[in-house]
A and B are shown apart, each in its own frame.
Chain A
Amino acid sequence: MSGVRVLVGTRKGAFILTADATRRRWDISGPHFAGWEIYHLKGSPADPDRLYASQTSGWFGQVIQRSCDGGKTWEAPGGGVTQEPGQMPQGESNKFAYDVSPESGKPLTTHQWYDGTQHPWEFKRVWHLEPSFTDPDAVYAGVEDAALFRTSDGGTTWQELAGLRGHGTGPKWQPGAGGMCLHTILIDPSNSRRLYIAISAAGAFRSDDGGDTWRPINRGLHSQYIPESTAEVGHCVHRLALHPSRPNVLFMQKHWDVMRSDDGGDSWREVSGNLPSDFGFVIDVHAHEPETIYVVPIKSDAEHYPPEGKLRVYRSRSGGNEWEALSKGLPQRDCYVNVLRDAMCVDTLEPCGVYFGTTGGQVYASADGGDSWTPIVRDLPAVLSVEVQALP
């Protein structure tokens, strides 16, 4: 590997940080899309120079951006300036229309609103982009209000996989404080027909047929903030993670509780163990050790900052239950930032690199599996997402 590229989405633009394989010196480019909220950027595993970004604004809505040169230049796919009106591109790369067609779609059902009434689905933004392992033009998008879309033409057009929204439990889904978002998409590396997604606040779901049909996988979850604590849906799952070598083993950071499944989500058990708080947003798995996992405990659902003002990553080398605090290089006093659900990632170098970004604008990196940390940039806008690519 020649180096790494870290893709950072923030409240006011995107930033791209690059380093060689030592991961000691970093070059920073940006802001890209200055002034816009960048919920997520991610590169294609099939072509590292192909990047996708979700660019959103309360004023102007959703824009999808694509780069074919590793983030040096960007374009809205299919949306170039038209000189010949008769040959105009469709300009639909930001069109996320729920599928209500009688042939392939489902009726545009309602979901539960904050006041308990039913509310129609309304597209707001793309939270997460998950490119295919094999095709640079194929990408899944998780959106708010919760639904799953897919492009097979590099983001020029998007189609809803309506079997998720319409499979039957939708009227029981409800928005969390951040909106009703589909924020996690995991593709089974050994079987691209198997997909996992997670929604706040509905729970986790699995498809075994490439996204056509879905079922909830929330057995074993307990949530005190819903009337029936073990209900089939309604759980506020914050993040899922898996290791490519063992795709049936899933890890979950829930609103409260860190959970584990050894059967592809059919059942879950709590592995919060000795964490100082089992509330949090991020969770990830070491690139080379499938039983080594990372979380960043947050004090509570009402106090979104680290316990005791100490920013600590917790690592378990046993797949949960036994956790150790990792604090070397992280602020250990007066720290009141949050780490949002898409803002942690790992690289595949040796030793494994771990990265996370904060709402205070810092991105921290560890080039030794979490033993020590360094801020690789300190003063960005609030960080929404962090992804890393190992460059060939």
Chain B
Amino acid sequence: MIRVVLPPHLRTLARVADEVTLDVPAAVPLTRAAVLDALEARYPMLRGTIRDHVTAQRRPFLRFFACARDLTHEPADAVLPGAVASGEEPLLIVGAIAGG
């Protein structure tokens, strides 16, 4: 079971109050792309809000953190930390500090 923490606006959009848990296909190793695929399949209203509909590129003002590390600029198919794969730590999707 993978844990994902969404920023407040996306929790509202997905109508969830807290972190979400996802069953990600057992294919290993676990990647950010696989987590986002599972997240968008479970919550289709989030499609296009984290990564572009057409290009699948990360939206510029979003960040990905886990295990006290900034994984934002890691490739989408890079292997996530083992603690995320085991469900011990969540993948944090964070709105960047920008604007108001």
Contact = CB atoms under 8 A, between A and B. Distances in A.
Contacts, number: 77
Nearest to A36: B9
Nearest to A11: B100
A79 B8 CA distance: 18
19 contacts: A34-B12, A59-B9, A59-B98, A60-B9, A60-B13, A61-B48, A63-B13, A63-B48, A63-B49, A78-B44, A80-B45, A82-B41, A85-B42, A91-B44, A91-B48, A94-B47, A94-B49, A95-B47, A96-B53
Given A58-B99, A81-B15, A63 B47 contact: no
Given A61-B59, A97-B53, A97-B54, A89 B99 contact: no
A353 to B, nearest CB: 33
B40 interface: yes
B95 interface: yes
B43 A81 contact: yes
Interface in A1-45: 34-36
Nearest to B62: A59
Contacts of B43: 81-82
B53 A92 contact: yes
A84 to B, nearest CB: 11
Contacts of B40: 91
Interface of A: 34-36, 57-63, 76, 78-82, 85, 88-97, 123
B42 A82 contact: yes
Given A59-B96, A60-B50, A81-B15, A88 B7 contact: no
Contact of A95 (B8, B10, B14, B53): B53
Contact of B98 (A58, A61, A94): A58
Given A63-B49, A82-B44, A91-B40, 13 more contacts: A59-B9, A59-B59, A60-B59, A76-B13, A76-B45, A78-B44, A80-B44, A80-B45, A85-B41, A93-B45, A95-B53, A97-B53, A123-B54
A123 B59 CA distance: 12
A32 B48 CA distance: 21
Contacts of A76: 13, 45
Which of A57, A62, A90 has most B Cβ within 10 Å?
A57
A63 to B, nearest CB: 7
Contact of B44 (A35, A62, A88): A88
Given A61-B59, A63-B13, A95 B7 contact: no
B52 interface: yes
B53 A59 contact: no
B11 to A, nearest CB: 11
B47 A79 contact: yes
Contacts of B95: 59-60
Contacts of A58: 61, 98-99
Which of B10, B45, B46 has most A Cβ within 10 Å?
B45
Nearest to A97: B54
Contacts of A90: 44
B98 A35 contact: no
Nearest to A35: B9
B25 to A, nearest CB: 11
A117 B52 CA distance: 25
A299 to B, nearest CB: 26
Contacts of B14: 81
